[in-house]
Amino acid sequence: MTEEEGHPRRGLDPEFTITHAVYCGRCGYCLYSLPYRGICPECGQEYNANAVEMKGIFKQDDVELPVGDGLGFCVFAMFAILLISVSIEPFESGKFFIGLIMGAMGLVFAVRTYARLQEFIRFQHIAKRIRKQERD
Contact residues: Zn ion, CB under 5 A:
24, 26-27, 29, 40, 42-43, 45
For Zn ion, the closer of residues 58 and 73 by Cβ is 58
Minimum gap (Å) between residue 136 Cβ and Zn ion: 18
Residue type, 96: F
For Zn ion, the closer of residues 56 and 99 by Cβ is 56
Minimum gap (Å) between residue 115 Cβ and Zn ion: 20
For Zn ion, the closer of residues 26 and 37 by Cβ is 26
